[in-house]
Amino acid sequence: MSNRIALITGPTSGIGYVTAVEMAKKGFDLILVARNEAKVRELQKVIGEGVRTDFIQCDLSSIASVKKAVDLIKARYGKIDVLINNAGLLVQNKQFSTDGIELTFATNHLGPFILTTGLIDLLKAAPNARIVHVSSAAHFFAFFDITQLVNPSWYQDLVVYGRSKLANILFSNQLSDQLSPFGITSNVVHPGTVASNFAGNGDGLSAFFMKLFRPFFKTVEQGAATSIYLASSPVVEGMSGRYFVDCKPGRVSSESKNRELGRLLWKLSEELVRKYEMDLV
């Protein structure tokens, strides 16, 4: 266990897959958090035996599943050097998680919130730990409304997705403010529009856009580059609370800088977890 340890969510496809492979090449042992065990086993074969890889099964949309994953990780590990919140989805039609929370928000924000806050002690145990969140320029289209996160009254997939990506930035900034005394950094990545299978299935507006403009999109390798850079480069050692595009600090919306919105989001997230725990009693 002398190697640095990186936890990656959503490592079985797209930029998460490339991120996992490249982090392994850099000598990181990997905690691979995903739903599909068969796909993780295939990824492990590609990575080989040069580093240790560990599969943790988890559905990020389910509070119970994330909590179980957190407990398992804490039982197996004493530290985490890098946590990469990569997994995400865009849902064309309004759906809800098993906990009754809009599926995009549950998967893209609440699951990573529970995972990250649950593993803070392991991040504190590592010297200069890093947290990387994969967000999107779609956050520019979002207007924060605390009442529209759990059950939006009007559903348009790109708007709801953009709102979840704004939540990623607000959460990252809160983490940066809270964890800087412990030497832990928290930054956000916009990977660009990537030619992967993300949001490309179906017949909605987002799927049409993805299919039409796919030839002009970045490769998955290009899309993963900034996540890998933030997770491993000595150049960004100590940098925190920033938003990166193409391995450089990028422009963000004014709303994403609002610390009060971040505090409201954090409070709502805690309330949703408490409600889940009360429902179990």
* Predicted local confidence at residue 8, as pLDDT: 98
Q: How far apart are CA 273 and CA 99, in angstroms?
A: 10
pTM of the complete model: 0.92
* Predicted local confidence at residue 235, as pLDDT: 97
**pLDDT exceeding 90 applies to what percent of the chain?**
85
pLDDT tens, position by position, 215-253 = 446 788 999 999 999 999 999 999 999 999 999 999 999
* Crossing angle of helices 259-280 and 157-179, rounded to 10°: 100
* Predicted local confidence at residue 204, as pLDDT: 55
Q: What is the CATH number of the domain that holds 155?
A: 3.40.50.720
Contact 77, 6 (CB under 8 A): no
- The answer to whether residue 134 scores a pLDDT higher than 50 is yes
Q: How far apart are CA 55 and CA 258, in angstroms?
A: 36
DSSP-derived 3-state class of residue 60: coil
- Structural domain of residue 218, as residue ranges? 5-280
pLDDT tens, position by position, 51-73 = 999 999 999 999 999 999 999 99
pLDDT tens, position by position, 2-24 = 589 999 999 999 999 999 999 99
* Count of the separate structural domains present in the chain: 1
Q: How far apart are CA 188 and CA 173, in angstroms?
A: 9
What are the residue numbers of the active site? 161
- The answer to whether residue 78 scores a pLDDT higher than 90 is yes
- The answer to whether residue 213 scores a pLDDT higher than 50 is no
* Predicted local confidence at residue 143, as pLDDT: 87
Contact 279, 98 (CB under 8 A): no
